[in-house]
Amino acid sequence: MDQNKPQEEDYGYNLFPERNSGKFQKGSIAESLFTFNHKCQVMLQFAMETSKLTVLSCLFSAVYKDRHFSCEDCDGTVSGGFDATSSQIVLCQNNIHQQSHMNRVVTHELIHAFDHCRAHVDWFNNFKHLACSEIRAANLSGDCSFHNEVSRFNFGLKKHHQECVRGRALRSILAVRKVSREEAEKVVDEVFDTCFNDHAPFGRIPHDKKDANFAYRDFENRDRYYANL
């Protein structure tokens, strides 16, 4: 075996073993009785009804819980993922245990789904596309909210939110791509300013459900002022 041969890229699918194993079939008795799966389904339903992701859901022609979301066991290092090959969001039922966490994960992955539909992201071949979507998802999902950062004992004043977004985007990239930290940092730095300031489908960074509705309205009305000049 050639020891110098580069390791084959798996695009992070190793983190989601049920994507290939077929361990449970949808609607099977084993799945319905699996406690983690049931809890995941309940939290997902609650999230779709109450969190700011309702704003994101309305941007698509139709979002079906059973078609576009899948609760599965994952590697212990991830909470969710967007599978571009099936246009499906994977929720890691063994790693999501609180409703607030579920809300953030679903919102984060719906940002990826929005980018997939809007920008035709080349997830597998364009590193900058991946980095940009990870920056946007970390920025707009609430991952780096003040409350969450305090709960992680992360404190900072000057541009702390930006540094949190940069760090979480970097970790996401390193989890799904076999690249060095230096390579990932270089790409994140190249696209950071543009992607951090791209708040679509919001007019600004939303802070909660109520604010998300206003931020979405800002986005919808973004051209009205200039149209009336």
- CA-CA distance, 180 to 225, in Å (whole number)? 46
Burial of residue 203 (number of CB atoms within 10 Å: 0-12, 13-18, 19+): middle
Contact 179, 173 (CB under 8 A): yes
Structure tokens at 80: 């969710």
Neighbours of 77 (CB within 10 A): 10
The owner of tokens 């967007």 is 82
User: Strand runs (DSSP E) across 84-158, as ranges?
Assistant: 88-92
- CA-CA distance, 198 to 114, in Å (whole number)? 13
| Residues 6+ away with beta carbon under 8 Å from 26 | 66
109 is catalytic: yes
Catalytic residue, from 8, 31, 49, 109: name it. Answer: 109
Q: At what angle do helices 160-176 and 181-196 cross, to 10 degrees?
A: 130
Q: Which residues pair with 70 in a beta bridge?
A: 90
By annotation, the residues acting in catalysis are 109
